[in-house]
Structures are given as C-alpha cells and as structure tokens.
Chain A
C-alpha cells in the first residue's frame, strides 16, 4: 500500500512547546487536504497518510509540500516487516541505472536481521533485477530507504521530496501585511507566513484614480499568498480622499512620505482591531525614494507596534526569484496602476527630515481623515 510520510522541520527543536507547534502543523496539513479523503496518523517525529486515492497523489503532495513546518515528504510502500516483501517493494521502486545504495533503519529490534544485513540482502536483490545498476555507498545517485517500524510494518521508499520548511502558520503571532499589487509585498507576506505568522492583508485603493482591475489584481495576489498563509482576509481601504487631501494641501515632494505615514497609521489601527501585533511591509532598503533610511524613519515613527520588513536586505533580483517561486510574479507585473504610482511626484524627497514632515503634515486633519477611511473599509475573504 502506498503511503505518504511527512517529516517536519525546526519543530523538533522546541521543548515544552512542542505540542503547540505540532498541533498547529497537523491542523494546517489537514486544512490543505480538506478536499481529499485519507487516514492521518502521527508516529515518532513524522506523520503518515494512508488510504488515499492514489490517482490524486501528485495533488496531495503539491498541497502538503507548501505547508510551512514540513521539511520533506516521501511516498513509500508500506509492507509487512518480512524480508521477502521488503525486497520485492525495493526492487519495484529502485532505479534501473546509475548508482545506488540501500539505507536501513531498524526501529523494531525484534526484527531478526541487523540493518547492515537487511541493506546487503535488499541491495543484492535489486542488483539482480537491474544489472545496469552499480552500488556506491558514499555518493550514490539514488538511495533506497528501508524503515522497519515497531508495529510490524516497513516503509520502503526511493525519493525524498523537499518541502518549504519554516514554522507552522499560527505559531508566530498575527501580522497585518500591506499589499500594494507590486512584486515585493506578496513576497514579504510569504516570508512572514513562513515564520509562522497568521496574516491579514490591507490594500489601499484610490478609485477612480486606480482601476477596479488594480484591486482585482491585489485580490488575485492575495489568493496566491493564501495558498501559503492558509487563511487570508483583505481589508480594502478607500484611500482616495486621503490622497487628494495630501495632494491639495502638501508640497508635491512630500506626497509619498505623508501617504506612507497615513498607510502605516491605518495599518496599525486595523492590526489592533483584529488582535494583530505587527505590520508587515515589502520595503527593501534604498529601492525607491520612500525606502531610504530617512523615509523609513519618517514612516516608522508613527507606528507603535513592530513593523516587520522581511525584504529589507534583499536585492530586487532576489525578490523576483522568490516571487517566481511562489507564483505571484506573473500577476504582480500586470500593468495596473497602484495608489503609489498615480500621484507620483517628479522629484520626491529622498531624505525627509522629520521636523519638516511634521510641519507639512500639520496642514491636514489626520485623525479625521483616518477615521473616515476606516469607516469605508471593504473586507474581502479570498
């Protein structure tokens, strides 16, 4: 019978909290497998999935390998712990050419042979069936693993599929991520979900200056992020009035600085409303005018909860690489304006001084504008 073996990552480092991490991981795995029929069991430092529809194996593996906290997967044959069955399964899944070795782990000490003996016997049978194969104990192309369990059953498998690692979502607190529709912010969301954060997203929308297509694009991105974050709600904040107010009352070169401060304040308010303890942005140091140290200082100074910037030290190329890996890149590059580009000044300040920012901002009724924006939030569960 085919089974899926799931191994988990850093969780084994956790001492007393282990049950907390494990139960989150198991629950997350069950969430991504909600459309499948299967039997789930926990065994020592791994989970085993049995009795599933083998025609849907690939889909199940794709789902599980994107669950944060999963280290790797193997599709194994589960056979009675009897050399005859073990060998037959091993011959069946072994490669037909190249080099290989057999790796045996004998948890069941009642089994009458040692690990070395099992490896030698099984390896011999494989060689006999596939004469083109060669044994290489040190740098084999393939490893056939034999895992003799205490319950009288043995797992035999050839491949180990790498998964995403990280920490189970739900174990790292809750954060609110600002999703702009660009390349960076979905990657930032992914990175924090990878560290176990539960996410909520915020998008600032400036209809009619930005289009419904731009909003749709953000929701499409959120749907992709949700594959990793597991649950995601997007708060779409109507930003038009704030933007036009800034545009009217503040010098053009401070547009973005002031706008970012509004976004940060609103993000924090929304975070507090939903019990989130951090704001997440896709900023990368020096990438654009609003991401210099001075600009970040000016934005950051309105925040009273931690602001996580997981991409701060990343080059654009590195961010794009992750965006491509997680599947957000193609959507991110669709050419719809986001609210950051619509009123883009020709020469933004790159090193805003906080005292100037405060002076410029004093022309606005900040709290009234924020209250109005928060009264116009559209909440969408993707």
Chain B
C-alpha cells in the first residue's frame, strides 16, 4: 500500500514525480525486458558445456567490452558484482596485502566504503579520516597530508552522494601516488558513472566501483574496475568466475542490462547535464522568495544532484508533505537514513538550525520541466507553511 494511502486508509498512491534518483532509478522498459529474456529464454549457465552456454558466455564478454569502451577502460578490467556495496567491499578487502599500515578515507564516503574501512580498524589497521570542505568536497591538502610511507589504501569518492560535490579524482590520485606510489587508490563512482563524464584511464585510479540501479538498470548488478596489472585478491571463493576474483554464477541478465544502461547513460551525459542544470535554476528561482536556505554545493557539483538545507525545518517532514502531491525527494542518503544524524551534515559543518533541514533532489532523464516547476512551487509553499507551524 502507498505510504500516504496507508496513513489515510485510501487507495494505493503511486509516486508520479520522482526526484530521488540518487537512491535508485526507474528501470528502462527495454532493459527490464532484456533482463527477463535472460531468465526465460537465454537462461543457460555461461560456464556449462553446451553451445547455448557458449553463446551466453559471449554475451558476457560483449557486455564487458561495451562497458569498458564507454568508460575508456579495457574489457579485462571490468569485474561484475552484485552492486556498488559489494564492489566497494571487494576493492577494500581485496586490495590489502600487508597486515599492518594505514588507510586514508573521509567522513563523506558512502556507508559502503565508510563502514568497510571502519571494519579495517577492528582488524588492526590504522584508519585516518581526512577533512571534508563545507560543500562536501574532499579537502585535498588534508587528505594528501595524511598519506605516508605506511599508507596501504586511499579511498576518495568521485561524486558525493549527499551534496553532489565532484572530487578531482585524477588530481587526488596523482597527489597520493606522488607521496606513496605503492598506495592503492580507490574511488567510489556510483553517483558518477552515467551522470558526469568518466574516463577511467584518465582518472588513473587502481580501483573504481559503480552500480546499475542508479542509471536505469536493475538492482543487484554493479561492477568494479580493476586497473590492468593490479592484483586483487578474491573475497568470495567458488567456481572461479570473473577470473577467480568474484565467484558465483553470473547474473547474466543484469550484466547484459548494465552494459546497455552504461552505454546509454554515458552517451547522454552532456545532454542530461544541460537539462538538469536548467532544472536546478528553476528550483532556485522558485525558492527566491524564501529566506534562510542554502544550496549545499554550488561549485563543481553533479548536475544530477541538488542538496538544499532549510533553516528551522525538518527535511523529513518536508519530504512527507511533498508526498501528498505525489512528489518524492530524498533526505541525505537513503542507505544511511536509518541513522539518526547525517555524517555529511556533521562533516560539512552545517549550523544546528540547518542540520535537520537537508533535502536532496536528484534528477533523471524521466523528469520533465513541468514537474520540476511543480516541485519548485510546492517546495516553497511547504517551507513557508512548515516554518509558520514550527516557529509559531
């Protein structure tokens, strides 16, 4: 039952205006059909001995190449996983060979990286937390200064999932490698691939993760880029699929779908960026009559993400008020909304009266200008209403 409907005992309510595309996206119809095809028609196990199986194995190879080509990597560098979280964990736990040393990370990382790295500290590694600037960007100087001869791994996300801040991954990689060429560099690209230009060779990192469901593919499929020549150890053992790095019968439908989704999203990055930039302006204009709000990241931000903070408002309440108009937005990261305080709110040093008023609007190609205008209008309306209620 829909969320509002359940509250009011009314009929099922479906979200019509979806602006939480950082949490997940609607799967493209043809991609959904493609996935089904690999369950009902082309369901053979790619590792079995029949000719049918060989055809399926070839589909996987083709998908790998297609993804690699879209992101300027080699086909041998793409390893499929069950999603972003698994790719992140594989990167972190599969790259550490030394028993001792330190890992450098920031508090702005997604929970899949942050909590995996926290686990390393339980296992005896030293974890060093670098600062985040007030708009969600990694403080490069602080980050690099924490890297030394003992640094085994440096994790710096590409696009911050809460504020949209785009980090200069190429520069961070160069600076980290200059201080310690042996340090493994890993970037979480879950909010970057298909949303901003990603050229893996150019970025230069050893490891880079991304997920299908953020770009109109299904949940349950993601990948880790492993730079050619980099030796990664498996964390899952079994039949030796994915060159032994990630055993388990391949999710063939997901893999084929991911290749279509990546290729499509990458091809549309520029056009979408233009559209989304216009959408952001519509929202800014809509809020022009409102006081005491800020756009959390204005410089080098992903066009797909707009993080706003309103003083004296609880973002969650605003979210639920918008639901009554069929509008869905996000607050911070859906993956960590079960935690009380946003790490990012803390990390970017928001004032207390703004800290609870963060909302995240994230766009996809399915959004229309008309519904962005509706969002802008309702957002302004409810902020005024809520302030008059909450402030009395």
Contact = CB atoms under 8 A, between A and B. Distances in A.
Given A207-B320, A335-B340, A212 B6 contact: yes
Contacts of A247: 389-390, 392
B7 A209 contact: no
A248 B389 contact: yes
Given A215-B7, A337-B316, A343-B390, A208 B339 contact: no
A378 B316 contact: no
B389 A244 contact: yes
A209 B314 CA distance: 9
B392 A208 contact: no
B23 to A, nearest CB: 15
Contacts of B323: 208
Interface in B353-392: 389-390, 392
B315 to A, nearest CB: 12
A263 to B, nearest CB: 19
Interface in A247-265: 247-248, 252
B3 interface: yes
Contacts of A208: 317, 320-321, 323-324
B313 to A, nearest CB: 11
Interface in A346-360: none
A334 B317 CA distance: 18
A248 B320 contact: no
Given A334-B338, A335-B339, A335-B340, A207 B392 contact: no
Nearest to B322: A208
A337 B316 CA distance: 10
A354 to B, nearest CB: 24
A247 B391 CA distance: 8
Contacts of B320: 207-209, 211
B289 interface: no
A93 to B, nearest CB: 44
Contacts of B392: 247-248, 252
B229 interface: no
A305 B363 CA distance: 55
B7 A207 contact: yes
Contact of B9 (A209, A337, A342, A378): A378
A20 B77 CA distance: 76
Contact of A211 (B9, B316, B339, B389): B316
A369 to B, nearest CB: 16
B338 A335 contact: yes
Nearest to A255: B392
Nearest to B3: A212
Interface in B300-321: 314, 316-317, 320-321
Interface in B1-23: 3, 6-7, 9
Contacts of A205: 7
Contacts of B324: 208
Interface string B154-198: 000000000000000000000000000000000000000000000
A207 B3 CA distance: 11
Nearest to A244: B389
Contacts of A209: 314, 317, 320
Interface residues of A, number: 17
Contacts of B316: 211, 337
Contacts, number: 33
Interface residues of B, number: 17
B209 to A, nearest CB: 28
A21 B10 CA distance: 43
B359 to A, nearest CB: 13
Contacts of B6: 212
A342 B340 CA distance: 13
Contacts of A244: 389
Contacts of A337: 316
B222 to A, nearest CB: 27
A215 B338 CA distance: 15
Contacts of B3: 212
Nearest to B318: A208
B8 to A, nearest CB: 8
Nearest to A206: B317
Nearest to A252: B392
Interface string B326-367: 000000000000111000000000000000000000000000
A205 B323 CA distance: 17
Contacts of B340: 335
Contacts of B338: 334-335
Contacts of A211: 316, 320
Nearest to A208: B320
Contacts of B7: 205, 207, 212, 215
Nearest to B1: A212
A141 B219 CA distance: 56
B323 to A, nearest CB: 7
A334 B323 CA distance: 22
Interface centre among A205, A208, A211, A248 (most CB of B within 10 A): A208
Nearest to A209: B317
A343 B386 CA distance: 12
A226 to B, nearest CB: 20
Contacts of A207: 7, 320
Nearest to B338: A335
Nearest to A376: B8
Interface string A327-369: 0000000110100001100000000000000000000000000
B194 to A, nearest CB: 30
Contacts of A378: 9
A207 B340 CA distance: 19
A209 B386 CA distance: 10
A5 to B, nearest CB: 45
A245 to B, nearest CB: 10
The listed residue with most B CB atoms (<10 A of its CB), out of A207, A215, A252, A335, is A207
A243 to B, nearest CB: 9
A205 B324 CA distance: 16
A342 B9 CA distance: 23
A247 B390 CA distance: 7
A252 B389 CA distance: 12
A156 B214 CA distance: 64
A32 B220 CA distance: 40
Contacts of A334: 338
B210 to A, nearest CB: 29
A337 B323 CA distance: 18
Given A208-B320, A335-B338, A343-B390, 18 more contacts: A205-B7, A207-B7, A208-B321, A208-B323, A208-B324, A209-B317, A209-B320, A212-B3, A212-B6, A215-B7, A244-B389, A247-B392, A248-B389, A252-B392, A334-B338, A335-B340, A342-B317, A378-B9
Interface of B: 3, 6-7, 9, 314, 316-317, 320-321, 323-324, 338-340, 389-390, 392
5 contacts: A208-B320, A252-B392, A335-B340, A342-B317, A378-B9
Q: Which 9 A-B pairs have the closest CB atoms?
A: A208-B320, A335-B340, A207-B7, A212-B3, A208-B321, A209-B317, A244-B389, A208-B317, A247-B392
